[in-house]
Amino acid sequence: MKAKRPSYPFVPKSANWLIAGQFWALPLSGGTFGCARVIEVPRYENRVSRMMFLAGVLDWHGPALPTAEAIAGARCLEQGEAHIRAITRTGGKILGIRDLAADRIEPWLFRGAEFWRNSRVSRGLVPIRSQTPDDDNLPVLSTWGIDYPRFIAESHFGQDKG
């Protein structure tokens, strides 16, 4: 049985409702908007993480809510692990979906915070190998606070830089 695609906009209740490529608005100071996207929804043994996903904040800013056409070609400024409330308490709802491949967006390579024997390199949220000293140039996979996506966009585009 094929899964039913959601109709937009909608307020997600959990990460089970998320699909890579979906996007939401980030309200900024001055009445403008940034945009964030769902980059990856982790799947563990055929189960979706109930509340966490990989998010990306786009290099996009506009006077109106983002649309699939408006965000075309926008790259990610940052990616990180986010809680579903990063959507519901900032932009409020998923506005639509746009294929990540069309914008050449994929989960980034990340490293662990320390060089411990059990540190891993991951592509997005999926561990792919053990970490080595050569991986020091990779960004550390961080877990974002609920308002962090809006903070990233605000620091790039907003009038209130503080």
Please indicate whether residue 43 or residue 102 has the higher confidence score (pLDDT): 102
Question: What domain range is 77 assigned to?
Answer: 15-106+145-157
1 pLDDT band (50/70/90 cuts)?
very low
In a domain, 73, yes or no: yes
Q: How far apart (Å, rounded) are the C-alpha atoms in residues 53 and 58?
A: 16
Q: Burial level of 12, CB count in 10 A (0-12/13-18/19+)?
A: buried
The tally of domains found in the chain comes to 1
Note the pTM of the prediction, 2 decimals: 0.89
In a domain, 121, yes or no: no
In a domain, 112, yes or no: no
